[in-house]
Amino acid sequence: MSLAEEFYKENIQRCLRQTKDLNYKVKIIGWSRLFVVILGVLTDYILYSQNKLNLILISTIFFIGIFIVLIFYHNNIIQYREKINTIMKINEKGIKRLSGDFTSFEDSGSEYLDYKHPFVDDLDVFGNNSIFQYINDTVTKGGREELVKLLKNEGNLNKLDIAERQEAVKELSSKAVWRQNLVLEGSLKKSKDIDLDNLINWSEGTESSSPLRIVIACTFILVTIFSIYLAIVKVIPQSFLLLNLMVNFIVVKVLSKSMGTEIKLFESIKNSIYGYSKILFLIEEENFDSQYLKNLQGKLKSDKLSCKEEMKAFSDILDWIGNSSYNAYYLLFNILLFSDVFLLRSLEKWREKNGNKLKGWLEVMHKIDALVSVCNLPFENENWTYPVILDKNEITAVNIGHPLLGEKAVENTFSMTGNQKVSLITGSNMSGKSTFLRTLGTNLVLSYIGAPVHADKFSCGIMKIYTCMRTKDNLEENISSFYAEILRIKILIEACKRGESVFFLLDEIFKGTNSRDRHTGASVLIKQLIKYGGVGLVSTHDFELCDLENESEEIINYNFREFYENNKIKFDYILREGRSTTQNAIHLMKLAGIEV
């Protein structure tokens, strides 16, 4: 049993025991509340029958007090049980990842599938059975978007940044309990879809409400208090209070008319801000050793300000905003004390102090939230290795396997070093060519985000990945699959001509045309890619292409083979040097029952 599996199972067992105890407590407290109500009613009845009316009030207050204490205790236990259940779900999700059952996870990131992107569709970065679906544990909208950016390899990659992220991932992967606490805090109270853009726009705004609003609000509050007093001493009729409240309602509407958008924004994000304050507290309080994490943490505090304290203050202010401005209790509170006016003024004061820092604080949280998901890879795959990033466009892999196949992955050793620029991969149908191309590409993606890879040893240069594997027609744009392939290859060639360091993966290129055109086109393409500095792999059924190895030392042949047992075709998915010498199309047709 791996350390990760042991950790997850121990946590699940502990949560089950705690849940059982908490369920028992909830049941006991529920019956206790009923007992207090019955006992209180009986006591008051006995006191009433004995004509001890002066004690009835004391008795009622006493039992109501006990009842309220039980309610608070009951709610606290229910909230704690919710935390325990959430922790158990986090660990159950880990067990599913370990068993390869991650395709059942709801969030696959399918909205990020983009056939125009250089590699995300071909390498299963998003969608069902994807890298994103496998590792994603983000609990913030921005963290999810940051993880997407990492997996797309957006931005300018450099050796130092990758090395720093590797160190950060190593450190965070060893903080399993801390990572689960972060996921927990982000999962408990969460708005369905927090409006980050409008929140940032508000925080960076400079407009403020007129001080006259506060003066008007205070004036009407004083009038209301004085009116209540006069009604109590019967100087004015109580009906005047109703008129006063109606006037207050109109005044509140007028004063808060321009604040309606802001109030709706804060109502929608208050739960998420509560979770964010908890997450930022965890980040600011933790002791980090890696430079990357220290740099991020340093952005959360200064000599004058502490992010955790200011975000808690922000959350506390928002907590006063009712779930709905039309909630009966909140509406009454608003009419009596003009709460919207004072809440917005408190928020403006908070913005004056912290508004220009909020975006930076959230960016720190989002980056660490994304890294926490990346850390699932090293924590759950102890035998994976961190790649060595080279200063040259080479790639070497010892016992490399596909990260999404788990124990089913067949490991191979491969290298393209020195003058070698293009590897031609030949082999029969279903022998493993496409899977191997994806194996290299997927591990490269993981290398560039600072994660470990499924290999015993892995080294690579920093290259832009371009693929052409799953081309398909587009009826809306009147594009055939063959022409779609041509367009992707054009993008690849243009990238090489721009001087980009390109790593390409081409699977069965030009399969939509006749054999002569396919061979000629592939030969010309490979020579152009070498000419403009491209490095990569090309899989093909065109065995004649393998002759290019004799023309250039920059081209090397590899192959996959099949074998037969009891008239059944078998594959070992082992990569071998040299060209393929076998074909299996006719045999497969016979096995399928097609007369040949």
In a domain, 146, yes or no: no
In a domain, 449, yes or no: yes
C-alpha distances (whole Å) from 188 to each of 41, 72, 352 are 38, 19, 29
CA–CA dist 532, 550 (Å, integer): 20
Shared domain check, 335 and 397: no
Please state the pTM of the whole predicted model: 0.86
At residue 75, the pLDDT reads 87
Query: What secondary structure letter does DSSP report for 385?
Result: B
In a domain, 204, yes or no: yes
Chain-centroid distance, C-alpha 192: 14
Do 248 and 173 meet the contact criterion of CB atoms below 8 Å apart?
no
The packing angle between helices 291-298 and 339-374, to 10°, is 170
Shared domain check, 345 and 452: no
Residue 59 phi, psi (nearest 5): -65, -45
DSSP string for residues in 490-527: HHHHHHHHTT--EEEEEESTTTTS-HHHHHHHHHHHHH
In a domain, 79, yes or no: yes
CATH number of the domain at 537, please.
3.40.50.300
Q: Answer positive or negative: Cα dihedral of 157, 161, 166, 171.
A: negative
User: How, if at all, do strands 535-540 and 502-507 pair?
Assistant: parallel
At residue 536, the pLDDT reads 94
Shared domain check, 393 and 353: no
CA–CA dist 38, 423 (Å, integer): 83
What single letter denotes the amino acid at residue 126?
F
Do 554 and 576 meet the contact criterion of CB atoms below 8 Å apart?
no
> Among the three residues 70, 101, 132, which one is the final residue of a domain in this structure?
101
CA–CA dist 408, 240 (Å, integer): 80
- 3-state SS, one letter per residue, for 76-105: HHHHHHHHHHHHHHHHHHHHHHHHCCHHHC
CA–CA dist 246, 358 (Å, integer): 39
Tokens linked to 507: 């699977």
At 30-80, the pLDDT tens digits run 898 888 888 888 988 888 788 877 788 788 888 888 888 888 888 889 889
Q: Answer positive or negative: Cα dihedral of 149, 152, 156, 160.
A: positive
At residue 584, the pLDDT reads 61
Shared domain check, 392 and 350: no
Shared domain check, 260 and 323: yes
Alpha helices, DSSP H only, in 50-158?
53-99, 131-135, 141-151
In this structure, the dihedral spanned by the alpha carbons of residues 75, 81, 82 and 83, taken in order and rounded to 10 degrees, is 110
> Among the three residues 69, 101, 133, which one is the final residue of a domain in this structure?
101
Shared domain check, 429 and 344: no
At 472-487, the pLDDT tens digits run 645 444 456 667 778 8
Do 575 and 436 meet the contact criterion of CB atoms below 8 Å apart?
yes
Shared domain check, 350 and 476: no
**Burial grade of 549 (CB within 10 A; 0-12, 13-18, 19 or more):** middle
Match 């309602």 to its residue by tokens: 249
The arrangement of strands across the sheet holding 535-540 comes to 464-468, 502-507, 535-540, 422-427, 555-560, 576-577
Neighbours of 427 (CB within 10 A): 27
In a domain, 60, yes or no: yes
Distance between terminal CA atoms of the chain?
A: 50
Shared domain check, 551 and 427: yes
What single letter denotes the amino acid at residue 263?
I
In a domain, 120, yes or no: no
Shared domain check, 549 and 486: yes
CA–CA dist 371, 330 (Å, integer): 40
SS3 assignment, position 468: strand
CA–CA dist 37, 201 (Å, integer): 51
Q: Give me the residues of the chain with pLDDT under 50, please.
A: 323-326, 473, 475-478
Mean pLDDT of the chain: 85
Neighbours of 245 (CB within 10 A): 15
Q: Answer positive or negative: Cα dihedral of 331, 335, 338, 344.
A: positive
At residue 49, the pLDDT reads 84
Residues composing the chain: 596
CA–CA dist 16, 18 (Å, integer): 5
In a domain, 253, yes or no: yes
The arrangement of strands across the sheet holding 457-461 comes to 388-390, 457-461, 395-400, 412-416
Which of 89, 191, 187, 176 lies closest to 139 in space, CA to CA?
A: 187
Which of 478, 475, 445 lies closest to 460 in space, CA to CA?
A: 445
Shared domain check, 453 and 343: no
As for how many domains the chain has, the answer is 3
In a domain, 372, yes or no: no
Shared domain check, 334 and 224: yes
Q: Containing domain of residue 60, as a range? A: 3-101
Shared domain check, 218 and 70: no
Residue 9 phi, psi (nearest 5): -65, -40
At residue 513, the pLDDT reads 61
CA–CA dist 429, 539 (Å, integer): 11
